[in-house]
């Protein structure tokens, strides 16, 4: 029987949430060891503002733990979230993973599956999409990365405060994916399965064109993962129980 392929996202790892960091290490030592591949669909970190983050002990430990999977011949893939879209080759090399585009088409047990972080599908959130356009511009990113890390950290603090404030004003449905955007993306890529995170609304949605799996977020040591096997797809909590 072939080994499962696992999907996680939205861990938002930071020194401020040691229980989730411990849960991630346990996941890497546990379920991930029995997998043939691990896909990280964004927001692994609370934020990533340049590969000089590797010089910080907390980040270096996370990255070294991921790199250990390569020793076991477990392939690791990373796709950008809205908090960590700035990892570069230094990060990829240190974690021994492959960075994928968002969205990406992957073949899992002979089936075409589309994977994405999910933020680009929240098309009703116009303020976020405007923000996204700015920060995903290569020139803006080059300029940002060229500035001192202390300055970058200060900007993130301001952006996080602004984001929290603006999210409180937004209607809940505005911050979910737009169903027409989902349908059109799935049609464009000719897939019947979409896997994404970002919305923190773990679920399996049955759609006219197939199925949409939404990954759980991790918080205070709780979280989960999606397990794709030849026999089917299932969502699990970290203790192994089905969602
Ligand atoms: O993150 P989360 O889940 O709380 O909310 C998201 C959206 N918010 C964000 C902002 C991030 O949280 C901020 C931290 C990013 C870290 C890396 C940034 C490095 C900057 C790099 C520059 C090249 O993504 C939130 C969504 C929500 O998901 C649900 O989908 O609603 O969107 C917002 O809050 C955006 C606001 O509505 C608009 C913010 C305006 C800020 C204007 C500044 C623009 C210029 C910035 C240039 C540095
Ligand atoms: Mn996100």
pTM to 2 decimals? 0.97
**Is residue 133 in some structural domain?**
no
Centroid of ligand 1 to alpha carbon of 129 (angstroms): 9
Share of the chain above pLDDT 90, in %: 97
Q: How many domains does the chain have?
A: 1
**Is residue 95 in some structural domain?**
yes
pLDDT tier at 243, thresholds 50, 70, 90: confident
**Is residue 195 in some structural domain?**
yes
C-alpha to C-alpha distances, 71 to 23, 89, 163, 243, nearest whole angstrom: 21, 19, 39, 30
**Is residue 169 in some structural domain?**
no
Query: Residue 1: is its pLDDT beyond 80?
Result: no
Q: Name all residues whose Cβ lies below 6 A of ligand 1.
A: 47, 49, 82-83, 119, 122, 125, 127-128, 131, 134-135, 140-141, 144, 155-156, 159-160, 162-163, 166-167, 170, 175
Helix, strand and coil percent figures for the chain, each rounded to 5: 40, 25, 35
Q: How far is the C-alpha of 226 from the C-alpha of 202, rounded, in Å?
A: 10
**Is residue 201 in some structural domain?**
yes
**Is residue 168 in some structural domain?**
no
**Is residue 145 in some structural domain?**
no
**What contacts 98, CB < 8 A, 6 or more positions away?**
75, 76, 77, 78, 92
Query: Which ligand is the nearest neighbour of the Cα of 198?
Result: 2
Model confidence pLDDT, tens digit, residues 28-83: 999 999 999 999 999 999 999 999 999 999 999 999 999 999 999 999 999 999 99
**Which whole number is the average pLDDT over 118-132?**
98
Report the candidate in 72, 85, 95, 90 with the shortest Cα–Cα distance to residue 42.
85
Q: How far is the C-alpha of 33 from the C-alpha of 23, rounded, in Å?
A: 14
Which residue's CA is the closest to the ligand 1 atom numbered 5? 163
**Which whole number is the average pLDDT over 200-208?**
97
CATH of the domain at 42: 3.60.21.10
Long-range contacts of 93-102 (CB under 8 A, 24+ apart): 94/54, 94/60, 94/63, 94/64, 94/67, 95/63, 95/66, 95/67, 96/66, 96/67, 96/69, 96/70, 97/40, 97/66, 97/67, 97/70, 102/42
Strands of the sheet containing 111-116, edge to edge, are: 104-108, 111-116, 193-196, 210-214, 203-207
- Ligand 1 atom having least distance to the Cα of 122: 30
**Is residue 147 in some structural domain?**
no
The range of the structural domain enclosing residue 92 comes to 5-118+191-237
Share of the chain above pLDDT 70, in %: 100
Model confidence pLDDT, tens digit, residues 231-240: 999 999 998 7
**Which whole number is the average pLDDT over 206-227?**
97
């Amino acid at each position: 029987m072939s080994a499962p392929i696992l999907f996680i996202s939205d861990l938002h790892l930071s020194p401020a949430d040691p229980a989730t960091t411990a849960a991630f290490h346990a996941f890497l030592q546990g379920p991930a060891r029995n997998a043939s591949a691990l896909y990280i669909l964004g927001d692994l970190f609370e934020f990533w503002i340049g590969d000089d983050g590797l010089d910080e002990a907390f980040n270096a430990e996370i990255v070294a733990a991921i790199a250990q999977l390569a020793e076991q011949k477990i392939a690791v893939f990373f796709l950008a979230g809205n908090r960590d879209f700035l990892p570069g080759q230094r990060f990829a090399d240190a974690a021994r993973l492959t960075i994928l585009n968002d969205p990406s088409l992957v073949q899992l047990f002979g089936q075409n599956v589309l994977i994405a972080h999910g933020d680009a599908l929240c098309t009703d959130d116009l303020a976020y999409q405007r923000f996204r356009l700015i920060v995903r511009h290569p020139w803006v990113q080059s300029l940002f990365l060229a500035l001192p890390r202390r300055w970058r950290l200060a900007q993130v603090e301001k952006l996080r405060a602004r984001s929290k404030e603006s999210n409180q004003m937004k209607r809940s449905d505005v911050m979910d994916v737009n169903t027409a955007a989902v349908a059109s993306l799935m049609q464009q890529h000719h897939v019947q399965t979409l896997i994404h995170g970002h919305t923190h609304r773990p679920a399996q949605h049955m759609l006219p064109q197939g199925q949409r799996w939404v990954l759980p977020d991790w918080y205070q040591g709780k979280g989960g993962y999606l397990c794709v096997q030849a026999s089917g797809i299932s969502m699990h909590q970290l203790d192994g129980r089905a969602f």
